[in-house]
Structure 1
């Protein structure tokens, strides 16, 4: 998310993907805006809304996503602490950050993307990471390479530490971040990207099965334990058959979009068009980024081509000497190629990796 590119006066209406109201009217799609669901009653097939209305359904789709996880430390209620959930949040940060000391809590994708977006106009940007290097899902060497690229742009890092408290000034605005390593950071604007929790509180007691973290449990067709109720997106934990994974929660927009598309096939009684392959990408400073395809859960070995610390690499995650996921930095298109390779069920082994000279895999897709 390039926050500095936002127009601070933009609204959700301005960035709607489809503004053709006639499209929805022709398809009898109705919206209940500024309204939330307070209760779902499967037995009577009713949804209760915060405005007092009750909607009766024959099939129900739950796609509520996540709620931002907030800091739970002394001072977390001070002013100028932000969580990016809505376009208005992004606009406020974009309008306030120029010339300010910004601290970003969290060094995964959201935290790093925010830091990338604000560096050009902020007085300073510091990222707080509770891991040894940012972007820990990729490994310390890749995280170290990304950190050095950020540092070249002026971003500072506090690694392997946590926020233990926040202090404010006389106006009730945050002005100090106290870390577990003993350091105190000056801050004018604190932006947190520390994950989300599933937005499923309203389902407790409904009879719809949730796992112990609150995610909705669905099968490969996105059915809950109640046959006429479905769920998709960040709020669910679902099977990933290509990887023999019984249930997993994946919070990437491409996966959520695919859930919606595939659910359409389920509802109309048609077979899904193929297996789901997780894929995502991110771009920092409009200059360098990361791509990833597959699922590395359960991987037992890694094989790397290129230089991770220089940001130009391809890393393969293997299980039983078979590639199950691919990450890359730089111009390589290997993750996109492997997204198709996975879909086609083509097996690529450690031997294949060692024998490849250019680590381009289009020839496999032409078979």
Structure 2
């Protein structure tokens, strides 16, 4: 390591994020092939030139999937110019042709990731990788795309490594989306100093949203990057390192294992921790939280053929119930609200999703709560509810929200709110000049909500925070401007959501809740502030673009014409 040269995963990045390196050039000459292919000796890669369409086949502002030798590419015509990028989102492989072309980028229809329409660079997450870029030229009335014959649908942006000539040290505490994105962005933007990521997790960073959707997944199968990736780019990932205090005078962090690390700049991205039960019996065997792959593996191993009680009727609880529905003997969700998702999606959508779950043998006990857990010989056997009834319970999964993992900052002088969230500005800087914070632990100004100070625990937003923090650490003044975007999936059905609906007072449904094919618009006063959908792609991604453009649509306008805002895109 220690090289000051750049390394580029190029277009050979695998689905797991492992690293491929380009072969060095021996000659810059190209040898033509009779089938329209050529060999680029500079890169020693075979390329093919493909006539994909006529100029007039694509109108301005349109996209088209075209066949190339390596598979497919997404051809784009914008402002009279042609470009071509990879046709699949680098996050989960969604077809970008079904996404949204707007303002120089393509937004994924599934989870909102954005890719530059000229370069393929990722500009908005979720996801870490960019997509390939293809050379395009026009000859006469033919549009010709040049492609690498071994193109992958993912591309790692060029990243630098540590140099012995750079002595600055950046320490990132955390190992989730914000921490990983921050680390990669620092290397992408040319930081050559020492870069350390210290996480209390026992694994390299992994895809946490999948935990509740695939309880049997291992840390290796969920890894955002393989361990060798971090080694190649001189990102020193220290696992099983839980921070216990920060000394802002000495620029030092102390960890539970007794080790201390110093820093020039500190980025705190420790995420949330699940709330624990405080009722009698909470310490019985098989009363479970879900935070790590090991937690998920334990739950599914002990739930098969057993009675499962889930406390909490929001995203984690319902996703776990959906996963266990055909594995456990019974699955019962106990919730305080009238229907699941009531606070986040509203009563109507919550009721429709409850019906979907009930059809799959998930039972709901709502407007209730668990007051005690009872067991035999230390093992859980039943749950006592607020209304006095008792239900069988061999496994209890607790999904009642999260709190910021920030106790170690208590005496640091870093300003936090009464919830323990770190208060940051639009650049993700705290009240300490050399300390930044990102992800679930922060309270930050949300641009689409008139800079209201909010805390948002979305995977997508954590990526945005991590990138913004990195750029500002490197004195590239950047304000976070990202539209909150989240999703949930149960029984093969997905709900997508964009915007910020806290304080909503009405929900306008366009479509059929019974058929689970609808768009829901959330209003606050006469302003439409968010949208959710099922089976209506790419409407939520379109609405995210609408919110990003700083435009408003009024409730009264929407009631007259639910699609009126699309004409403003």
Scaled by the length of structure 1, the TM-score of the pair is: 0.92
- The residue number in structure 1 matching 2:533 is 328
Structure with bigger helix share is: 1
Distance 1:298 1:72 in 2: 29
1:338 to 2:543 alignment = yes
Pair member with larger Rg: 2
Conservation of the 8 A alpha-carbon contact between 1:279 and 1:294: yes
3-state DSSP of counterpart to 1:121 = coil
Count of equivalent residues: 359
1:106-143 alpha-carbon deviations (Å, 9 max, x no partner): 00000000000000111110000111111112222211
Conservation of the 8 A alpha-carbon contact between 1:102 and 1:126: yes
Tell me which of 37, 60, 64 is aligned to 2:270.
64
The list of structure 1 runs, each at least 4 consecutive aligned residues, that deviate by more than 6 angstroms after superposition, is none
Q: How does 1:88-103 map to 2 (within 5 A)?
A: 88-103=294-309
1:127-163 alpha-carbon deviations (Å, 9 max, x no partner): 0011111111222221111111111011101010011
Distance 1:39 1:356 in 2: 55
Distance 1:143 1:309 in 2: 12
3-state DSSP of counterpart to 1:263 = helix
- The residue number in structure 2 matching 1:166 is 373
What is the root-mean-square deviation of aligned Cα atoms in Å? 2.0
- The residue number in structure 2 matching 1:54 is 260
Tell me which of 324, 329, 335 is aligned to 1:118.
324
- Alpha-carbon shift at residue 168 of structure 1 (Å): 0.3
Distance 2:425 2:542 in 1: 27
1:139 to 2:346 alignment = yes
- The residue number in structure 2 matching 1:255 is 461
Task: Classify 1:298/1:7 alpha carbon distance in 2 versus 1 (closer, same or farther; 3 Å).
Answer: closer
Distance 1:194 1:311 in 2: 26
1:166-191 alpha-carbon deviations (Å, 9 max, x no partner): 1102x311111000011100011111
Distance 2:299 2:536 in 1: 31
1:65-108 alpha-carbon deviations (Å, 9 max, x no partner): 11111111111111111111100111111222111111111000
Conservation of the 8 A alpha-carbon contact between 1:3 and 1:94: no
Task: Classify 1:6/1:178 alpha carbon distance in 2 versus 1 (closer, same or farther; 3 Å).
Answer: closer
- The residue number in structure 2 matching 1:268 is 474
Unaligned runs of 5+ in 2: 1-209
Identify the structure with bigger relative contact order (alpha carbons < 8 Å, sequence gap 6+). 1
Conservation of the 8 A alpha-carbon contact between 1:82 and 1:93: yes
- Alpha-carbon shift at residue 26 of structure 1 (Å): 4.5
1:258-293 alpha-carbon deviations (Å, 9 max, x no partner): 11122222222224387211010111011x232111
Unaligned runs of 5+ in 1: none
- Alpha-carbon shift at residue 351 of structure 1 (Å): 4.2
Conservation of the 8 A alpha-carbon contact between 1:146 and 1:309: no
1:18-49 alpha-carbon deviations (Å, 9 max, x no partner): 1152x433443212222211210111111112
Task: Classify 1:241/1:73 alpha carbon distance in 2 versus 1 (closer, same or farther; 3 Å).
Answer: same
